[in-house]
């Protein structure tokens, strides 16, 4: 199958060599030209494209070769390259982060079964590096990417450009408001709502929430807490750390100081809370440590809950009540969605929402 004049006119806003390049690329991706198959000669392509200059065709083929789609052998012709698909996973950090590691492992396992390579791009808590990773995805000869987006204006703008250029992207754990992209998230609202309902059922009358609201996932955790308390008419108190009062990517000492300050602030109030919900297990465990230093008994005086069900939740004393985040499933579903997107770039954006399971332990 070769182009008609009308096919080129559909892209008349671009230079002719770009039109030829785009058409041949589409034919390769759709399997019209399969791996190892020889493309028509330059002379034949010039004829098929209505007698265009041979230099124009050579430029198009040169660009396809740079993308790894074709290989030219002197005296033999140009052939479709035998190319393994490669996708990227962009994450803010893997350093001691059980959630990120499990998600990445799940993505890699899925794509290994699909004979597809996975490249992990780890920003290591560096905002500039995260921006650089997202910004260069299209230059890396990738077929698509799963992005755990760090919320900054520059990174969001880069993701918007990827969407505009038709580069297959799936967001994981959070969505970008007003930007339709495929995404896989957990039902954080319901998880937090059910934790709050559990505390209320256990007779807790004054429940506090401590955490960040930097994205849709964390905001849903706060909203679930709030909605449960409103529904039951229970007194509530939130200590929210947003972009105005905490670093975008804090280090460990920042977290410890932030949680300690929040707990001391809540315990100084009259009446003080009889339960505290933290937006992650890590923060909940730091909160338990601070409450113990203050001589507060858990859960007798103050019940404590976390969110995620990381391994450390079962190692602290008392063991932490929490909501189990579907870590492996999150990665698997994101990988499935990305593969579908790669195979059909016109597929409408789809959001997959995974359930969260309550895990009740000694702290509540």
The pLDDT of residue 305 is above 70: yes
For the cut 50, the answer to whether the pLDDT of residue 9 exceeds it is no
273-302: pLDDT as tens digits: 999 999 999 999 999 999 999 999 999 999
Same domain for 200 and 142, yes or no, is no
Task: Note whether 196 and 307 are same-domain residues.
Answer: yes
Q: How many domains are there within the chain?
A: 3
Q: Is residue 255 part of a domain?
A: yes
pLDDT-derived band at 133, boundaries 50, 70, 90: very high
- CB count within 10 Å of CB 139 equals 7
| Domain closes at, from 55, 80, 105 | 80
Separation CA 152–CA 249 (nearest Å): 11
**Residues 60, 13 share a domain:** yes
Q: What is the pLDDT of residue 156?
A: 87
Could you give the dihedral angle defined by the CA atoms of residues 119, 125, 126 and 132, in that order, rounded to the nearest 10 degrees? 30
What is the average per-residue pLDDT within 119-137? 89
Angle at 63 (CA atoms; ends 62, 66), nearest 5 degrees: 90
Q: Across the chain, what does the average pLDDT equal?
A: 89
What is the model's pLDDT at position 242? 66
Domain membership of residue 361 (yes or no) is no
Q: Are residues 232 and 316 in the same domain?
A: yes
The lowest-confidence range among 68-82, 138-152, 163-177, 242-256 is 242-256
Per-residue pLDDT, 213: 84
pLDDT at residue 4 in the model: 43
143, 207: one domain:
no
Residue 305 placed within a domain = yes
Task: Quote the CA–CA distance of 198 and 193 in Å, as a whole number.
Answer: 9
pLDDT given for residue 89 in this prediction:
95
Question: Is pLDDT above 50 for 3?
Answer: no
- Range of 20's domain? 5-80
User: Do the domain assignments include residue 261?
Assistant: yes
Statement to judge: residues 150 and 227 lie in one domain: no
Whether 45 and 122 map to the same domain: the answer is: no
**Shared-domain flag, residues 303 and 339:** no
Evaluate whether residue 140 is within a structural domain: yes
Tokens 């849903």 belong to residue: 220
**Residue 39 and residue 174: Cα distance in Å, rounded?**
43
- Boundary residue ending a domain (32, 50, 80): 80
Shared domain for 151 and 222, answered yes or no, is no
Residue 32 counted as domain residue: yes
- Residue 360 predicted with pLDDT over 60: yes
pLDDT tens track for 95-123: 878 888 999 999 999 999 988 999 999 98
| CATH code for the domain in which residue 289 is found | 3.40.50.2300
Q: Which of 107-111, 239-243, 255-259, 342-346 has the highest mean pLDDT?
A: 107-111
* Per-residue pLDDT, 246: 45
Structure token digits, residue 45: 């392509």
Q: Are residues 319 and 208 in the same domain?
A: yes
Residue 71 lies in a domain: yes
Kind of pairing between the strands at 77-80 and 70-73: antiparallel
**Which of 39, 56, 80 corresponds to the end of one domain?**
80
**Residue 58's CATH number:** 1.10.10.10
Q: Do 303 and 237 fall into the same domain?
A: yes
pLDDT per position as a tens digit, 15-50: 889 989 988 988 887 778 888 899 999 999 998 888
In a domain, 146, yes or no: yes
CB 85 within 8 A of CB 56: no
Query: How far does the chain reach from its first CA to its final CA, in angstroms?
Result: 67
Q: Please report which helix (H) or strand (E) contains residue 123, including its range.
A: none
pLDDT tens for 164-219 read 888 999 999 888 877 889 999 999 999 999 999 999 999 999 999 999 887 888 99
Work out the pLDDT band at 248, boundaries 50, 70, 90: very low
Instruction: Give yes or no: residues 291 and 344 share one domain.
Output: no
Cα 61 from Cα 65, distance rounded (Å) = 6
- Nearest alpha-carbon partner for 302 in 261, 355, 264, 253: 264
């Amino acid at each position: 199958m070769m182009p008609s004049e009308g096919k080129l006119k559909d892209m008349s806003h671009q230079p002719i060599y770009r039109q030829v390049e785009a058409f041949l690329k589409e034919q390769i991706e759709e399997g019209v030209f399969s791996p190892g198959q020889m493309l028509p000669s330059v002379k034949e392509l010039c004829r098929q494209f209505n007698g265009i200059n041979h230099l124009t065709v050579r430029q198009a083929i040169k660009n396809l070769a740079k993308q790894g789609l074709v290989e030219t052998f002197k005296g033999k012709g140009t052939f479709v390259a035998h190319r393994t698909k490669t996708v990227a996973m962009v994450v803010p950090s893997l350093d001691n982060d059980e959630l990120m590691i499990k998600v990445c492992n799940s993505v890699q396992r899925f794509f290994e079964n699909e004979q597809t390579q996975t490249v992990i791009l780890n920003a290591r808590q560096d905002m500039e590096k995260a921006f650089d990773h997202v910004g260069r995805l299209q230059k890396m000869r990738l077929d698509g990417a799963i992005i755990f987006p760090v919320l900054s204006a520059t990174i969001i703008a880069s993701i918007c450009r990827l969407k505009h250029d038709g580069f297959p992207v799936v967001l994981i754990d959070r969505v970008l408001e007003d930007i339709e992209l495929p995404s896989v998230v957990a039902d954080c609202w319901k998880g937090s709502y059910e934790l709050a309902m559990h505390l209320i059922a256990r007779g807790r009358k004054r429940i506090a929430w401590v955490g960040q609201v930097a994205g849709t996932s964390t905001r849903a955790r706060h909203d679930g807490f709030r909605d449960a308390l409103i529904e039951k008419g229970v007194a509530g108190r939130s200590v929210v750390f947003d972009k105005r009062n905490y670093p975008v990517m804090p280090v460990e000492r920042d977290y410890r100081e932030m949680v300690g300050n929040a707990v001391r602030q809540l315990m100084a109030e009259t009446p003080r809370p009889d339960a505290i919900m933290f937006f992650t297990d890590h923060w909940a465990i730091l909160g338990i440590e601070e409450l113990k230093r203050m001589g507060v008994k858990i859960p007798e005086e103050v019940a404590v809950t976390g969110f995620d069900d990381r391994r450390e939740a079962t190692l602290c004393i008392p063991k932490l009540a929490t909501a189990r985040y579907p870590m492996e499933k999150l990665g698997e579903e994101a990988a499935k969605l990305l593969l579908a997107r790669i195979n059909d770039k016109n597929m409408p954006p789809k959001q997959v929402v995974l359930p969260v399971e309550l895990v009740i332990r000694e702290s509540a």
